[in-house]
């Protein structure tokens, strides 16, 4: 089983649509969770961290379900500029229970927002 | 706004040659990382570096790879004898601390091995 698994899409949605991405992770000891955004041939950039209680940043809402090992990202009122690949990312404990910050990435979900 | 920089942006080399990829992390950051992304595939962790030593490395990071922080600003990744399958985008990242800390990624170096 892949450590971090995402639906690769692609998702093609019109402007203004609401779109949801899902992600599952296999390591129950995973420590921290993030959504990154990656534009074509660019570096990943942090979109938001994901907290157990769920969190919102403007049009973006992230949810975490530790029992199901499931993470989600909801984008409301999609903009053309939201077109990108969305990466589900987890950080696990390293050897000896200490995290050295290693990030494990999912394959990414491609989103295209069209006029 | 401070940012991670990487040079060169694109490196073309012949199989078997040594390459050094350079990174300048954000100045007050303490933790440094290299990741790679083969075209069309996911971003993969290579190595983390703290306090002048490797703190964690992946299976990909074999004896052909090494990292160094030769001075107070640069962080380098060396591939001793490149293979065709080393062709990828290599990203450097840095963070100020571990817990609750974002990793800031550089723009990447595209390595092409012929």
- Average pLDDT rounded to a whole number, residues B59-88: 94
Contacts of B100 in chain A (CB under 8 A): 32, 49
Compute the half-sphere exposure of residue B28: CA atoms within 13 Å on the CB side of its CA.
3
Give the burial class of B100: count Cβ atoms within 10 A of its Cβ; 0-12 exposed, 13-18 middle, 19 or more buried: exposed
Question: DSSP assignment of chain B, as one string?
Answer: ----EEE-SEEEE-TT--EEEEEE--TT--EEEEEEE-TTS-EEEEEEEETTEEEEE-TT--TTEEEE--SSS-EEEEESS--GGG-EEEEEEEES-STT-PPEEP--EEEEE-
Contacts of A86 in chain B (CB under 8 A): none
Contacts of A99 in chain B (CB under 8 A): 98-99
What are A47-63's pLDDT values in tens digits? 999 988 889 999 999 99
A23 in contact with B at a CB cutoff of 8 Å?
no
Average pLDDT of chain B, as a whole number: 94
* Contact by Cβ (8 Å): A110, A11: yes
Question: B66: pLDDT confidence band, cut at 50, 70 and 90?
Answer: very high
pLDDT at B102: 85
| Cross-chain residue pair B106–A32, CB shorter than 8 Å | no
Higher-pLDDT residue of B72, B18:
B18
- Average pLDDT rounded to a whole number, residues B46-75: 92
Residue A31 has pLDDT above 90, yes or no: no
| Cross-chain residue pair B31–A101, CB shorter than 8 Å | yes
Nearest CA in chain B to A32: B100
The region that residue B57 occupies, defined by phi over 0 for left and psi between -120 and 50 for alpha, beta otherwise, is beta
pLDDT at A114: 96
pLDDT at B17: 97
To test the contact with chain A by mutation, choose from B33, B42, B48, B97 the residue with the greatest count of A C-beta atoms within 10 A, namely B42
Residue A96 has pLDDT above 70, yes or no: no
- Average pLDDT rounded to a whole number, residues B20-32: 94
pLDDT at A95: 57
* CB nearest B103 (choices: A41, A95, A103): A103
To test the contact with chain B by mutation, choose from A43, A84, A86, A96 the residue with the greatest count of B C-beta atoms within 10 A, namely A43
pLDDT at A93: 65
pLDDT at B70: 86
pLDDT at B32: 94
């Amino acid at each position: 089983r892949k450590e971090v698994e995402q639906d690769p899409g692609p998702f093609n949605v019109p402007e203004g649509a609401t779109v949801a991405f899902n992600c599952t992770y296999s390591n129950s000891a995973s420590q921290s969770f993030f959504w990154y955004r990656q534009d074509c041939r660019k570096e990943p950039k942090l979109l938001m961290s994901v907290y157990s209680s769920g969190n919102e940043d403007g049009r973006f809402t992230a949810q975490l379900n530790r029992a199901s090992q499931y993470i989600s990202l909801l984008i409301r009122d999609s903009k053309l500029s939201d077109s990108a690949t969305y990466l589900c990312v987890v950080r696990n404990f390293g050897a000896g229970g200490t995290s050295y910050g290693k990030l494990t990435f999912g394959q990414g979900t491609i989103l295209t927002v069209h006029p | 706004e401070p940012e991670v920089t990487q040079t060169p942006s694109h490196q073309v080399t012949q199989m078997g040659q040594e390459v050094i990829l350079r990174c300048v992390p954000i100045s007050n950051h303490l933790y440094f990382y290299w990741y790679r992304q083969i075209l069309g595939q996911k971003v993969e962790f290579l190595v983390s570096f703290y306090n002048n030593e490797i703190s964690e490395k992946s299976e990909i990071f074999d004896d052909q790879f090494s990292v160094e922080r030769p001075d107070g600003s640069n962080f380098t990744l060396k591939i001793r004898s490149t293979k065709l399958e080393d062709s990828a985008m290599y990203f450097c990242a840095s963070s100020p601390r571990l817990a609750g800390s974002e990793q800031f990624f550089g723009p990447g170096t595209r390595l092409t091995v012929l």
